[in-house]
Amino acid sequence: MNNKLFKDRILFVILVVLVRVFMDYAFIEYIAIKWKYMGFFLEINYFKVFISYVLVVVFVFFLKKYNANKISHFFCITLFFTMYLPIGTIYGYMNQSSTFFTVSSLVFLIFVSIIITLSNNKYTIGVSKENIKVHVKLKLVIYTLSIFTFIGMTIQNVDNLNFRALIDLSDVYSMRSSATYYWGMNYFFSWQTKILNPYMIAISFINKKKFTQWAYILLQIWLYVLTGHKMVLFTLIITFAVLYLSSRLNNIPMLFSKGIAFIFSLSISEFLLFKNSYILDLFIRRTFYLPALLTFYYYDFFKDYGFQYWKHTLFGRVMNIDTELEVNPSYVIGEAFFGNVDTNAVTGYLGSEYMNGGYLGVLLATVILLVIFKLIDKYSYNIPKEIILITSIAPIFNLWNTAFLTALLTGGVVLTIIILKQTYIAQEQRLV
């Protein structure tokens, strides 16, 4: 092992431990106090805290061996920081179920060990280059969907327009509740803002097509102003960040780990200085703590109520399967744990797939996730890392932020694979 690789691995271990400590501190001193009315509370079980840290060490044993040129390794580390670490914090400091935490840890450990240790080194991300080829049929489809989404969303939501949302994020909630998505826009809007716009911005940037680049930047901003979805704005910021840091993307997992540690340290500094933290309130709570809390809530409810066997998914609707619940499960959880039937308490794949099929459902989803990551690895070969990251980040984010099948379809994971596959084929044909 060369000296730089050894230092990188040591630094990665330090960053993981540091982030977990920051995560615990922020939860104890801020989240469990200010956001108690939203279901967070403090009931420390020191044995569970200890066990959760032991498991962090076990995970780090595998994760520190990551390959910086494998996109699946980066996404695996992303899920670890954003999904698994917060679950450990909630488990120990809110005294949650040991059974569910143990099984979730075991399933996720299997996933991590397979991704990290059983990788084919052939498929690695490419380097930046000019004139990335996009198949003419793919380009035509993207342009058609872009125009259709622009027209459809504008006609439906132009009366919902609120330019203040660009500078005041507190305005977005009223906008979001009144936005409409007829004509299939619940799919097209999601695909456009999470995948197609970022993909075209990245392609245009690398190919130096400034008109196309700015057209898609403005379309992303327009769709945000129409609906108030912060994820649309967040995706655009991530796109800019990746393009700006293009020259530093030689070790994406390390860059990401440093970024997470910096965000937590910045939020804690904000809290210590001002006794309040907008970063914790608007970003970290929603991205890290809330999905982890909801994961345990789904387990608590459906272990007693009974599994739903994917009745509330597209599969259930197509098969016309009867459901016992009068509303979607997310609203049932909202009423049961937050006292409000209008609360759409959506969780990530661990909670949603336990709801659907118990531990077998969680294992099945993990196996599918393994296949997805391997496909993304394959279709990332010889494609610039900027395009891979910008096209994939938002859909992968959905895996810990929404139900599994929703992430695959509405969230755009399947579409991402299709887009990357077509780009991969075009690049292969160009090299022949």
In this prediction the pTM is 0.86
Classified as helix, coil or strand, 381 is: strand
Q: Is residue 149 part of a domain?
A: yes
CA distance 142 to 198: 12
Is it the case that residue 170 has pLDDT exceeding 60?
no
Instruction: Give the pLDDT confidence of 73-128 residue by residue, as tens digits.
Output: 998 999 999 999 999 999 999 999 999 999 999 999 999 999 988 765 665 665 55
Beta carbons of 389 and 132 less than 8 angstroms apart: no
Q: Minimal CA–CA distance to 30: which of 263, 275, 264?
A: 275
Is it the case that residue 399 has pLDDT exceeding 70?
yes
Instruction: Give the pLDDT confidence of 199-236 residue by residue, as tens digits.
Output: 999 999 888 889 999 999 999 998 888 887 778 888 88
pLDDT at 18: 96
CA distance 116 to 73: 6
pLDDT at 348: 82
pLDDT at 326: 74
Q: How distant, in Å, are the alpha carbons of 216, 240, 255, 386 from that of 246?
A: 19, 10, 11, 7
Q: Looking at the 3D structure of the chain, how many domains does it have?
A: 1
For residue 43, give the DSSP letter.
Answer: -
Range of the domain at 425: 128-244+348-432
User: 266 falls in which pLDDT band (50, 70, 90)?
Assistant: very high
pLDDT at 341: 78
What does the DSSP assignment read for 107-122? HHHHHHHHHHHS--TT
Q: Is residue 238 part of a domain?
A: yes
pLDDT at 162: 66
Q: Is residue 45 part of a domain?
A: no
Q: Of all helices (H) and strands (E), which one includes residue 167? A: none
Q: What is the mean pLDDT of residues 37-65?
A: 94
Is it the case that residue 63 has pLDDT exceeding 60?
yes
- Burial-class residue 397 by CB neighbours within 10 Å (0-12, 13-18, 19+): buried
Q: Is residue 153 part of a domain?
A: yes
User: 198 falls in which pLDDT band (50, 70, 90)?
Assistant: very high
Q: Is residue 230 part of a domain?
A: yes
Q: State the average pLDDT for the chain.
A: 86
Is it the case that residue 250 has pLDDT exceeding 90?
no
pLDDT at 41: 94
pLDDT at 164: 64
Q: Is residue 148 part of a domain?
A: yes
pLDDT at 238: 87
pLDDT at 38: 87
Pick the range with the lowest mean pLDDT from 91-100, 149-158, 284-293: 149-158
CA distance 85 to 288: 8
Q: How distant, in Å, are the alpha carbons of 51, 146, 172 from that of 232?
A: 37, 15, 12
Q: What is the mean pLDDT of residues 35-60?
A: 94
Q: What is the mean pLDDT of residues 385-393?
A: 87
Q: Is residue 69 part of a domain?
A: no
pLDDT at 168: 61
Instruction: Give the pLDDT confidence of 313-329 residue by residue, as tens digits.
Output: 766 666 667 777 777 88
Q: Is residue 267 part of a domain?
A: no
pLDDT at 148: 93
The backbone torsions φ and ψ at residue 381, rounded to the nearest 5 degrees and listed phi first, read -60, 125
CA distance 324 to 212: 49
Instruction: Give the pLDDT confidence of 124-146 residue by residue, as tens digits.
Output: 665 556 667 776 788 899 999 99
Per cent of the chain over pLDDT 70 is: 90
Compare 105 and 244 and report the one with higher pLDDT: 105
